[in-house]
Amino acid sequence: ECKQQLDQHFLMFNERMQEKLKHIMTLERELNQAVEMEAFELYYQPKIDLKSELITGVEALVRWPMPDGSIRMPGDFIPEAVRTGAIIPIGEWALETACKQIAQWRDLGARIPIAVNISPRHLKLPEFTDRLLEKVGRYNIDPGLLELELTEEALVETGASNIFILQEIRNAGVKIAIDDFGTGYSSMRYLKVLPIDCVKIDKTFISGGEGNDLSDPTIIEAIVFLAKGLSLDVVAEGVETEAQKNALAEIGCDKAQGFVISPPIPSRLLNQLLFPSSALT
Ligand code: C2E
Ligand code: MG
Ligand code: MG
Ligand code: MG
């Protein structure tokens, strides 16, 4: 009887595995096709200065539109893209698109910084910096308008050799932000030793708590205090309510990003907000 039970478990496990495998293989094929056809789109989420309430920049977030009009979100394909390596052409495409967008805004007389998320697997590529600076040069944009967002894990995992890469990128004028701060290895020392410009406080400290208030004001205050002491810019992510926005301003956080300000939107819609009377829109 015991053996029969074991067999049954084994069978169930197998079926589930097979299903999972089928899903992964389909996704892998679809990802390769999408990379080839450049089927992705960049959405942009504004960041505001909490004192002036003006837009100070945007974060680029990849979207994968489907033929039926639905949109696949990064959480459903980025992990697989990282595993297969498709994240490298996706990242190159995102940087290319961001540079092109900065140039387009420059031609309209606007200076709007764009932050692009970069996977550690991509950053580790020996030709990463050369390719990045080639794009900046080709579009003739101010490198200071481009920012790379790297998670704590990415920055720590890559170790000492990465500090050198980051330094090279920053020497060229491109900015670096530490994303989702407070959720990864979370050593405060990293803020001091890593060559970075900006700290993005993870959204779990901002929203998702009870009511409309900040879910963890004490931790936010500590991160803001620390970042200020190290002369780093601080951005709160995932700001969903007016109460959270006001509390962040009171704490002295520089900038905010979140649904209460704007969700990530396609460039066409952002252009309508930024240049209401332009021929672009
Ligand atoms: P992230 O870089 O931390 O981006 C912020 C995420 O929070 C985005 O999710 C954004 O839509 C979401 N968000 C913005 N405001 C709010 C809010 O008020 N409340 C809540 N609950 N969420 C908010 P999204 O676009 O689904 O992206 C998820 C993650 O996927 C990103 O997290 C980033 O790690 C990764 N990702 C997105 N685009 C790219 C890309 O082009 N390249 C790479 N390597 N990773 C990307
Ligand atoms: Mg980010
Ligand atoms: Mg983040
Ligand atoms: Mg995140």
- Tens-digit pLDDT profile for residues 213-262: 999 999 999 999 999 999 999 999 999 999 999 999 999 999 999 999 99
CA of 61 to the centre of ligand 1 (A): 6
pLDDT, residue 12, reads 65
Q: Full-prediction pTM beyond 0.90?
A: yes
Beta strands in 162-246 (DSSP E): 175-181, 198-201, 233-236
**Ligand 1 — pocket residues by CB below 6 A?**
45, 61-62, 73-75, 78, 87, 91, 94, 117-119, 149, 179-180, 203, 207, 237-240, 258-259, 264
CA–CA dist 57, 142 (Å, integer): 14
Q: Is the ipTM of this complex over 0.95?
A: yes
Q: Which own/partner contact pairs does 269-272 have at CB distance under 8 Å and 24+ positions apart? A: 270/44, 270/46, 270/58
pLDDT, residue 190, reads 83
Give residues with Cβ within 8 angstroms of 40, minimum separation 6. Answer: 34, 62, 63, 64, 90, 93, 94
Q: Which residue has the tokens 């330094």?
A: 167
Tens of pLDDT, residues 59-74: 999 999 999 999 999 9
**Best residue for ligand 1 mutational test, from 47, 59, 61 (most atoms within 8 Å of Cβ):** 61
pLDDT, residue 210, reads 86
